[in-house]
Amino acid sequence: MSLRLVLLGPPGAGKGTLAGILEKELGLAHVSTGEIFRDEIRRKTSLGKTVNRFVTSGRLVPDELVVSVMAGQLARRRKGRGLALDGFPRTVGQAKGLEAFLSDRGLALDGAIYLDCPTPLLIARLSGRRVCSRCGSNYHIRTMRPRRSGVCDACGGTLIVRKDDQVNTITKRLVIDRAQATPLLDFYRQHHRLYRVSGSGGAVRVFQRVQRLMQQRGWLKK
Ligand code: AP5
Ligand code: MG
């Protein structure tokens, strides 16, 4: 499938969870800026050292750096394979950077899917999230439990709380996101690419809503 999607939504809306299902069910490559940065931080690379203070404190990494990292990532991907971009773009500057990267290659986005979620649900999801310290897989203490408590199903790694999931950092991330969301959504609305989907309910229900949208738009044939 060669569908190219951007997944938008506040922290905890379920972008990563949905992108994981899109990868498994439809073969789209899940590319997450947050995961790329956390992996660089884990490996203590020079990029990891540069982005560490932004990521752990919940502030946005500067646009030029994000766009150049993503351009490098996307250029290395196999042509023709579809994409689910998770957490990128997050500002209008990044959205323009992505448009320029794609149009230089004669490509375009099919859609930007915004996952709508009420704030209390975002906070409940983020404060209960656990992630694998080795492979980055996501869990939740109530809604997505691992088979063995504290242990990753995928690789056996130890589950931990993400540094930016501390209560005060969650609040900060939600405030920062709100400031960026309005102009970013306006950008995709003006380009007729914005689709809003409810992110409430279980992960399978959210995926089914997205699948319905894909059927309506004829994207499943791509
Ligand atoms: P990033 O990793 O992208 O974090 P985020 O946008 O804050 O989003 P989250 O990963 O917290 O939430 P999500 O929507 O993916 O939800 P998830 O599926 O995990 O970015 C981290 C940091 O990196 C940023 O703060 C910034 O510093 C930097 N960064 C990244 N991209 C950047 C960019 N483009 N520009 C600048 N800086 C950038 O779900 C959350 C929890 O809920 C999980 O526990 C999950 O199991 C559970 N859950 C999810 N969906 C459901 C469901 N439907 N039902 C029940 N439980 C669910
Ligand atoms: Mg995520």
Q: What is residue 1's predicted lDDT score, i.e. its pLDDT?
A: 82
Cα 9 to ligand 1 centre (Å):
9
Q: Look at ligand 1, atom 43, and give the residue with the nearest C-alpha.
A: 129
Contact 167, 174 (CB under 8 A): no
Structural domain harbouring 72: 4-118+168-217
Report the atom number in ligand 1 closest to the C-alpha of 13: 14
Cα 216 to ligand 1 centre (Å):
27
At residue 174, φ and ψ (nearest 5 deg) are: -65, -40
Which of 64, 143, 184 best tests ligand 1's pocket when mutated (most atoms within 8 Å of CB)? Answer: 143
Return the residue matching tokens 């979620």: 117
In a domain, 149, yes or no: no
Q: How far apart are CA 137 and CA 148, in angstroms?
A: 14
Contact 129, 165 (CB under 8 A): yes
In a domain, 129, yes or no: no
At residue 96, φ and ψ (nearest 5 deg) are: -65, -40
CATH code where residue 90 lies:
3.40.50.300
In a domain, 144, yes or no: no
Q: What is residue 132's predicted lDDT score, i.e. its pLDDT?
A: 95
Q: What is residue 104's predicted lDDT score, i.e. its pLDDT?
A: 94
Is residue 62 in contact with ligand 1, taking CB distance under 6 Å? Answer: no
Q: How far apart are CA 65 and CA 70, in angstroms?
A: 9
The domain tally of the chain equals 1
Residues of the chain with pLDDT under 50: none
At residue 86, φ and ψ (nearest 5 deg) are: -115, 110
In a domain, 83, yes or no: yes
Q: What is residue 21's predicted lDDT score, i.e. its pLDDT?
A: 96
